[in-house]
Chains A and B, each alone.
Chain A
Amino acid sequence: MEVACLQRRFIDLTATIFQQEILDSQFTQLQQLQDESSPNFIHEVVSLFFQEAEKLLNELSKALDQQIVDFKKVDAHVHRLKGSSASIGARRVKDVCIAFRSCCEENNKDGCIQHLQQVNQEYYLVKSNLEDLLKLEKQILASGGSIPTMK
């Protein structure tokens, strides 16, 4: 595929992602930290995020499946997920986590289950967008082009 076409797609995708606040300025900051001395930084951080988030979502599912829910444990997992998503700039995931924690504080099982569903949705949304974005980057570079810088 032509470089210009790929670059166009990259620009459009980035615009959409930021418009919808799927990612926020924290992600931009991470992009700025990647350079020749650390060319795989984004890829590494994103991979870590995926691994950790999926593990936490799993734990949350199990914890909320119990007869008697340990809300402290649930809250601890959500706190962790909130931190990771904030660090990578996954804004919508982070926002759901904040609301999720309120449910934990209230020992509200139904609320927690609802929020778990929501956070799952947001997570898979950011995951697929990040994957698309990184794939486009790779294709652009492979075609000899440069990644458009967004401002």
Chain B
Amino acid sequence: MGRRNQQLPPQQEAMTVEAEARFHVLAVDDSLIDRKLIERLLKTSSYQVTTVESGTKALELLGLREDQDTTPSVSLDQHEIEVNLVITDYCMPGMTGYDLLKKIKGSSSLKDIPVVIMSSENVPSRISRCLEGGAEEFFLKPVQLSDMKRLRLHLLKGKTNCKEEQQQQQQQEENNNISNGCSSNKNSNSNKRKAIDEELSPKRTRPRFSNDSLTVV
């Protein structure tokens, strides 16, 4: 009733509000100092942050137990949170950052979450292993404020709700293809940009809308 008189249809308005909500980053590091540091860097860059000390804890928060490949369809774990990006240290006791990366990428429900690896050691074979394993990027520690800017690129790739952002990204990818850029982008671009994930668990409350309901502004 009177929709045409409104600036935005309710769905798109909700989407705009959602888009303005901050990205949520999960940071994993066994060092307390480094957790404090990464938290400050992320908060300064306007991200919402959760820090954990191990890969195991990270998987718990993401709703995946170590022995599972997929989150249960009925989410029983009250601690499950929605995360837009995982940034993890490489060298950790027990589950390494690489192990965590493989777990996330091997999970049907979590594989689209971008993962960034950090390490104090500049080991080329380690770096390529991580990138080949699906990591978006590899940061050398200590992480700098300027590194935080690079996260935004990967976060926008992961977010599929906004049609505008998809178009932006399409443009960017076209440019990349032309200039043959990003050496860290080992996966094909089409894998990154997915249609709305039908397997989204009920906990994911971000509004979903199909393209034809969007009013062209």
**B126 touches A (CB below 8 Å):** no
**Contacts of A12 on B, CB cut-off 8 Å?**
none
Asked if B145 and A45 sit within 8 Å, CB to CB, the answer is no
Within A8-29, the residues touching B (CB, 8 Å) are 26, 29
B123 interface hit (Cβ, 8 Å)? no
Neighbouring B residues of A88 by C-beta, 8 Å = 33
Q: Which of A61-69, A78-86, A103-111, A126-134 contacts B (4 or more CB under 8 A)?
A: A78-86
Cross-chain contact A87 with B142 (CB below 8 angstroms): yes
Contacts of B144 in A (CB 8 A): 29
Residue B40 at the chain A interface, CB threshold 8 Å: yes
Interface of B is mostly: helix
Distance between A40 CB and nearest chain B CB, rounded to angstroms: 11
Which of A45, A83, A88 lies at the interface centre, i.e. has the most chain B CB atoms within 10 A of its CB?
A83
CB of B120 within 8 A of CB of A82, answer yes
- Chain A residues 56-101 with CB under 8 Å of chain B are 79-80, 82-84, 86-88
**Which of A26, A52, A79 is in CB contact (< 8 Å) with B32?**
A52
Question: How far does the Cβ of B63 sit from chain A's closest Cβ, in whole Å?
Answer: 30
> Interface size on B (CB < 8 Å)?
16
List residues of chain B with CB within 8 A of the CB of A33: 40-41, 44, 145
Number of residues of chain A lying within 8 A (CB) of chain B: 22
Instruction: Evaluate contact between B142 and A26: CB separation under 8 angstroms.
Output: yes
Cα distance A85–B10 in the bound complex, in angstroms: 52
Contact between B142 and A86, CB atoms less than 8 A apart: yes
Chain B residues, Cβ within 8 Å of A149: none
Q: Mark B24-59, 1 if CB is under 8 A from A, else 0.
A: 000000011110110011011000000000000000
Complex partner residue of B31 from A37, A41, A44, A83, CB under 8 angstroms: A83
Q: Whole-angstrom distance between the alpha carbons of A11 and B124 in the complex? A: 40
A87 to B32, Cβ gap below 8 A? no
> A84, B31: Cβ atoms under 8 Å?
yes
Beyond A48-B36, A87-B33, 18 additional contacts (C-beta under 8 Å) are A29-B144, A30-B37, A33-B40, A33-B41, A33-B44, A33-B145, A38-B40, A38-B43, A41-B40, A45-B33, A45-B36, A48-B32, A52-B32, A52-B33, A82-B120, A83-B34, A87-B142, A88-B33
Please give the residue numbers on chain B whose beta carbons come within 8 Å of chain A beta carbons, in ascending order: 31-34, 36-37, 40-41, 43-44, 91, 120, 141-142, 144-145
26 contacts between A and B (CB under 8 A): A26-B142, A29-B144, A30-B37, A33-B40, A33-B41, A33-B145, A37-B43, A38-B40, A44-B36, A45-B33, A45-B37, A48-B32, A48-B33, A48-B36, A52-B33, A79-B91, A80-B31, A82-B120, A83-B31, A83-B33, A84-B33, A84-B34, A86-B141, A86-B142, A87-B142, A88-B33
